[in-house]
Chain A
Amino acid sequence: MAFAAPSVEAESSLVTGPSRERRSFRLSSTMDSVSEVEEAADQLATEAGLDEDQRFHIGMAVREAAINAVLHGNEYDPARQIDVSLENTGKDLVIVIADQGHGFNPDKVPDPLATENLLRGTGRGIFLIRSLMDEVHFRQLHPGTELTLIKHLAPTAKNT
């Protein structure tokens, strides 16, 4: 596995209690890193008690976001890294992925559902992320783009 060092700054800290654990780490711009982020998100969703469909949705959205960061943002540049954090706030699962690329405007991404785009081989990643998560926020860094993905948790005894 070609991760940037052993997850580099892998750290876990309890913020206010067992349901608010936040993990953050920095990874190299490789496809192995994409898999690592996807697995971490699946673990977060599993620990939150989400069902298979919800875990699939979160895993896929996070994978797409990580691919965007590694491929389109950092362009596989070994000098650039991605910063990732995952948190169960008790009300939400919050995953933040930031790259060090040139940034981009999500509003300028063509609609993949438009008839003229339906047969395109690319351009569905952002749409899938938005469709599969409850909230998606973009923030331009200098340099880079930060994506915050949020899945609301059902108000059960486990996470209230």
Chain B
Amino acid sequence: MALAIASREVDGVTVLELSGRITLGEGSVQLRDAIRDLIGKGQRNILLDVGEVSYIDSSGLGELVSAYTTARNQGAKLKLLKLTKKVHDLLQLTKLYTVFDIYDDEASAIASFK
């Protein structure tokens, strides 16, 4: 399944709910466009809910990193919510776990932006 992205606002934070695969040719470009679009519109608080991401490859990991650095370079914050075991393990393996702010529950994640 390709990547599906749903967006909603919670207390000034844009929550992007991602579901499906983030891989080369399937979801990477969609994610990149979604992040650039949000930042271009001036959104500064972005929470990526990856709880329904079934698969991510090195390209997808790279896209998460790029999303993070793009946000940071524009003075925005990008955090992750609800890692699946697969994504969690890959972030640990690649040491990206140390890069991102990661939350298990949405309320805590939203509160962290204040």
Contact = CB atoms under 8 A, between A and B. Distances in A.
Contacts of A67: 24, 57-59
Contact of B69 (A63, A112, A119, A124): A119
A106 B23 CA distance: 22
Interface residues of A, number: 20
B58 A125 contact: yes
B99 interface: yes
Contacts of B61: 124
Interface stretch (B7-15, B74-82, B88-96, B105-113): B88-96
A56 B86 contact: yes
B51 interface: no
Q: Is the interface of B mostly helix, strand, loop or mixed?
A: helix
B25 interface: yes
B70 to A, nearest CB: 10
A8 interface: no
B62 A121 contact: yes
A123 B24 CA distance: 13
Given A31-B24, A56-B86, A67-B24, A119 B65 contact: yes
A64 B66 contact: no
Interface string A45-77: 000000000001000100110010001000000
Contacts of A125: 58
Nearest to B32: A121
B94 A113 contact: yes
B77 to A, nearest CB: 15
Interface string A106-145: 0000001100001111111101100100000000000000
Nearest to B66: A121
Given A119-B99, A120-B65, A127 B57 contact: no
A120 B62 contact: yes
30 contacts: A31-B25, A56-B86, A63-B23, A64-B58, A67-B57, A71-B24, A112-B94, A113-B94, A113-B95, A118-B95, A118-B96, A118-B99, A119-B65, A119-B68, A120-B62, A120-B65, A121-B63, A121-B65, A121-B69, A122-B58, A122-B59, A122-B62, A124-B58, A124-B61, A124-B62, A124-B94, A128-B58, A128-B90, A128-B93, A131-B93
